[in-house]
Amino acid sequence: MQDINSDKTSETDDKIKYHISNNLKGLNEQSRNYIKDIVVLINKEIGINKIVSLLLFGSQQVDNENTAVSDCDLLFIFKNRVSGRHLKEIERYFIALEIKHKFKEPTSKLFREILGVIQLSTGMFVSHFLTKQKFWEQAIFYKIFRVNRFFSMLFAPRNIVLGSVIQNSTVLFGEDLRDSIRPKIKITVREIFRSTVMNLFISFFALLIGPRKELNSIKYQLEAIKWSLKASNYYCYEDSESLDKILKRFISFETPKRKAKTERFYLKFLELRKNPNNDLKFMIFSPLRILRIHINAITFRKLTRRKINQRNLLPKDQITDRPHFPLTY
């Protein structure tokens, strides 16, 4: 009887692994191999049948932007009976796999501790997130992304991040739990202020570690700009478009005098994402650009709300449908 149950479990695990492998066909080889190794690890240490849902989100998805600084964002939602201690134990192996598949660079203990502060606080350049179903359904941000609780409560644009994950993700396996937290997500101006503070913090951190070339500080600067654009775009439109489309939107927000300068900055941004190097001029101007991205987002949303309120005050026979309009000054 025990052998029969063992065979059934093995057969179920093989079906799960086959199902996940089928959903990886559109990904690049690096991401496919990384995910397959992680699935093998989880099956060995916890049991793959303990996964309720597995989400892939961010830039590694099919037909999405994928560059030299992109990581592979996976969110594993486990059954509630899996212990937190067990999840912490297997995280050490996850980090080793990130290094093996070149999603994380091996560093000395000192530099690992320095970079660990920013990574633990923000979740930046972490390619895996392990949580339980109850934390997901309650939308407890720091438990979902296993980041510093104090930092996330004060600075993380929690609802914007969760909203982006819901809209910009693929279910690789299991139940689709995304709709279960959608009603809990409320986007307010407080979210965009948090995004401003957090991304400026990351930007200045990148400048601070800039002299140490081995820390590759440009990656943090580029992520701060990308996160600013993604968060601000979600605040304005509540969608998760490609980075190219978001850049076009934010260029259109600028006055005619500023457009050429803005386009040059974003072209440099895209170039550095493909070929990262510590461009000092770009890094110095990045905090100002981050600030402007958020200011434009706040201004745009105010204008759209004012326009909507004006339309609501008009008699119905005077209201005409209009397409989306750009920010104007």
Residue 61 CB neighbour total at 10 angstroms:
18
Is residue 165 within 8 A of residue 75, CB to CB? The reply is: yes
- Please list the residues that pair with 174 across neighbouring strands: 53
Report residue 211's pLDDT band, with 50, 70 and 90 as the boundaries.
Answer: confident
Answer whether residue 180 shows pLDDT above 70: yes
Mean pLDDT of 37-62: 83
Residues 319, 316: Cα–Cα separation, whole Å: 5
Residue 15 CB neighbour total at 10 angstroms:
12
The ranges assigned to domains in the chain are 1-186, 187-329
Model pLDDT, residue 326: 44
What would the two tokens of residue 321 be? 């449908």
Q: At what angle do helices 243-252 and 256-274 cross, to 10 degrees?
A: 160
Residues 52, 268: Cα–Cα separation, whole Å: 41
Model pLDDT, residue 81: 93
Is residue 121 within 8 A of residue 151, CB to CB? The reply is: yes
Model pLDDT, residue 30: 81
Mean pLDDT of 58-71: 58
User: Is the Cα torsion angle 283, 288, 291, 294 positive or negative in sign?
Assistant: negative
What would the two tokens of residue 315 be? 């008699």
Report residue 324's pLDDT band, with 50, 70 and 90 as the boundaries.
Answer: very low
Report residue 90's pLDDT band, with 50, 70 and 90 as the boundaries.
Answer: confident
Single-letter code of the amino acid located at 317: D
DSSP 37: H
Mean pLDDT of 97-112: 66
Q: What is the pTM of this model?
A: 0.79
Model pLDDT, residue 46: 86
pLDDT in tens, 247-270: 999 999 999 999 999 999 999 999
pLDDT in tens, 219-230: 899 999 999 999
Report residue 98's pLDDT band, with 50, 70 and 90 as the boundaries.
Answer: confident
Residues 278, 294: Cα–Cα separation, whole Å: 24
Is residue 174 within 8 A of residue 79, CB to CB? The reply is: no
Residues 327, 90: Cα–Cα separation, whole Å: 48
Model pLDDT, residue 313: 59
Residue written as tokens 């299991």?
A: 174
Answer whether residue 63 shows pLDDT above 60: no
Answer whether residue 57 shows pLDDT above 80: yes
What would the two tokens of residue 310 be? 């004006």
Answer whether residue 327 shows pLDDT above 50: no
C-alpha pair distances (Å), 65 with each of 57, 101, 243: 12, 19, 7
Model pLDDT, residue 221: 94
The torsion region of residue 23 among left (phi > 0), alpha (psi -120 to 50) and beta comes to alpha
* Residue % of the chain over a pLDDT of 70: 76
Mean pLDDT of 167-182: 89
